Structure 1
Amino acid sequence: MNRTNFMKWLSEKLIPNLPPNSLIVMDNAPYHTVQVNKAPTMSSSKVQMQEWITNKELSYLPTMLKAQLYQIIKEHKEAPIYEADQLLISHGHKVVRLPPYTCDLNIIEFMWSLSKRRVASNNVGLEAGNIVKLTEEDFSSTTPQDWQKQCEHVIHLEDNFYERDGCMDNITDKFIIELGNESSTDSDT
């Protein structure tokens, strides 16, 4: 998958089949997070940084180093706007994004796992060429109950996270760890 294929699928397959005012949960795959307002980074050229600052109608001194230009960029860059989000919003839908690195809260990951297990169990002794056929059959046999079960599993995981966070919030005793002072003793604290 890449940006071009994803945007084509979004436009031609997903959006025409979504009910009005749908809520789309998006993960952080690179092709989901193509920014339309991407700011230069420290690895950008000095000229790119200067152009970005000028386009934002900000000022800089010609003698400034890249690090100084980048400081201006960091202070003025906007929250990311994603191409996919704009397309979905333009069709009346809302997008929420999973926090980065939280595949354990991504229901689609559990659905993929379920499909892979079912395909593997039905592929005993069959040729590798049958994988596509078995996968398509599995996708077409996936039920709303399969999705519901995976949604309930993620809700259970979320509840566990909230419970653990709540335990941390209830801790009233504080402890201090001092770093870099090897000569301290118990009587010093």
Structure 2
Amino acid sequence: MRQTTELQMPAESAFPLADTDRCPTSSTRKADIPAWLRQHNITFSEDLLKVELLAFCKQQQMKLTYVVDKMSRARGHSSIRLPPYHAELNPIELIWSQLKGYVGQKNLNFRLSDVQHLVNEAEASITSGLWAECCSHVEKIEAEYWRSENIQDELDDSSSSDNSDDETDTASKAGETTETTDMVDEL
């Protein structure tokens, strides 16, 4: 049986879940930009314009770090990011779909209190067995992607070797054509 570790965040977190070291942007107040640079021990000229400071910040920008990554590393875990635009690789999307389907099917009067009650009912119906099914489904999709990727790699490898054979054939045919032309000229 798989052992899982759950990382629970407080409902109203005192820290952002996104990056903790966001580079200043054009919406950042000019006074905050030098503070960011000083915080990172980056020397700069105090007489720079905001646009110049932003360009300087962008050059000095460090790798983004996320609170969740720091927390998981501190506990001996690592984070893996899902590729963008691939919701099918995220089991929570299947759970979310079932929850929305339940609410949509049972919602008859569209009152907010009733919708909240239906959400709570749907949430209570989500079991560890359902989670296991969703995870298993995603693992099958992932395996199919890997299989497709391997097939594509094999096709790419074989087509590149076919192309090299074609180039050799073309070169030898070009040599034959030259020899034939030379023979015709001699006649």
**In structure 1, how many angstroms separate the alpha carbons of the residues matched to 2:90 and 2:12?**
19
**In structure 2, how many angstroms separate the alpha carbons of the residues matched to 1:74 and 1:91?**
31
Equivalent of 2:120, from 125, 130, 136? 136
1:79 lines up with 2:63 in the alignment: yes
**In structure 1, how many angstroms separate the alpha carbons of the residues matched to 2:57 and 2:79?**
27
Q: What is the CA-CA distance between 1:168 and the residue it aligns to?
A: 3.8
Q: What is the CA-CA distance between 1:142 and the residue it aligns to?
A: 1.9
- Bigger Cα Rg: 2
Greater mean deviation of Cα atoms: 51-60 or 126-135:
126-135
Q: What is the CA-CA distance between 1:39 and the residue it aligns to?
A: 1.5
User: 1 or 2, which has the higher strand percentage?
Assistant: 1
* Structure 1: stretches of 5+ with no match in the other structure: 1-5, 12-30, 175-189
Equivalent of 1:102, from 86, 89, 96? 86
TM-score with structure 2 setting the length? 0.57
Name the SS for the 2:10 alignment partner.
helix
| Structure 2 match to 1:158 | 142
TM-score with structure 1 setting the length? 0.57
Percent of paired sites with the same residue: 26
Query: Which AA in structure 1 matches 2:100?
Result: K
Contact 2:107 2:118 survives alignment (8 Å): no
| Structure 1 match to 2:184 | none
Query: Which AA in structure 1 matches 2:33?
Result: M
Name the SS for the 2:141 alignment partner.
helix
Relative to structure 1, the CA distance from residue 65 to residue 132 in structure 2 (aligned partners, 3 Å threshold; closer, same or farther) is: closer
Q: What is the CA-CA distance between 1:135 and the residue it aligns to?
A: 2.5
Contact 1:7 1:84 survives alignment (8 Å): no
**In structure 2, how many angstroms separate the alpha carbons of the residues matched to 1:160 and 1:50?**
50
- Deviation string 1:107-132 (CA, Å, 9 cap, x unpaired) is 111101112223333x2756645333
Name the SS for the 1:97 alignment partner.
coil
User: 1 or 2, which has the higher helix percentage?
Assistant: 2
- Report the aligned-residue RMSD: 3.6
Higher relative CO (Cα under 8 Å, sequence separation at least 6) belongs to 1
